[in-house]
Amino acid sequence: MTGKQFTSVWIREPRKATGPGRSRQEIVRAAVEMLDEQGLGGLSMRKLGAKLSAGATSLYWYVANKDELLELAYDEVWAEMTVPDPGRVGWRDSASALAHSMRQVILRHPWSADLIGSMPALGPHAMGVADRTRKMFKAAGFTGLDIDFANATLTAYVFGMTIPEIAWNTAMGERGYDADEMRAAVARAAAGHPDLLERINMDTHDDPQAMREMCFDFGLVSMLDGLERRLAT
């Protein structure tokens, strides 16, 4: 018994336009704009066709279905990530820059968080980031499978910290919770835990965004310390 055949927009030659209509790049750019504004649920071939004044049927010349369109849009997200040359800045600074870049890019395009792990990243931009990241860890001194393990550790950290942040931001925006009322509710729930209350009932509320960035950097530095220690041993 054979499984379902795997298909992807990236494993076939792109069709070339036969007329003066929209280019594939224009279509993808418009799709990313729509996704940024409305999320995954707001994207459809019909709505995108209307946005481009092109009609949904003309879009099918470039993509077989919505999933292929998402593949193209998803790869545009990876195009915004940066991996500095480790030979110039050192592997740790290169890894740190990539991690921060990856986090910021996902936060700019929160819909992409729902595709991580569920949609293969096979586009040229995603492959370029993966290749440069492998070379970065190889330059650090990792060998064999440890290169892949180090790579997976870095990306898992970024995804693990960023995806819940997006989920929380989305929930707060959709439900419209008042921050002070929520803090008061959490304080009531933590009444029996004085150590938690000390943190919750600060006279001066820390800037949540600044705290999240500090927390991310703390964990990132700790994780890179661990990888560097493995190299030393």
The residues near 193 (Cβ < 8 Å, ≥ 6 apart) are none
- Give the pLDDT of residue 107: 97
Task: Give the residue ranges of the chain where pLDDT is below 50.
Answer: none
pLDDT of residue 201: 62
pLDDT of residue 174: 66
In CATH, what is the architecture of 9-77? Orthogonal Bundle (1.10)
Q: Look at residue 164 in the predicted model and tell me its pLDDT.
A: 94
pTM listed for this prediction? 0.88
Q: If you ran DSSP here, which 8-state letter would residue 29 be given? A: H
Residue 59's pLDDT is 84
Residue 121 has what pLDDT?
93
Region(s) of the chain under CATH 1.10.357.10: 79-232
Cα separation, 163 vs 17, in Å, equals 37
Those residues whose C-beta lies under 8 Å from the C-beta of residue 128, and which sit 6 or more positions away, are: 78
Q: Which pLDDT does position 105 carry in this prediction?
A: 98
Q: How far apart are CA 213 and CA 57, in angstroms?
A: 44
| Per-residue pLDDT, 1 | 56
**CA 153 to CA 4: how far, in whole Å?**
31
Decide: 124 and 72 in contact? Cβ < 8 Å: no
Residues 6+ positions from 38 with CB-CB distance below 8 Å: none
Where along the chain do the CATH 1.10.10.60 domains lie?
Answer: 9-77
d(CA 137, CA 143): 8
Q: Which CATH class is domain 79-232?
A: mainly alpha
pLDDT value of position 217: 97
Report d(CA 145, CA 147) in Å as an integer: 5
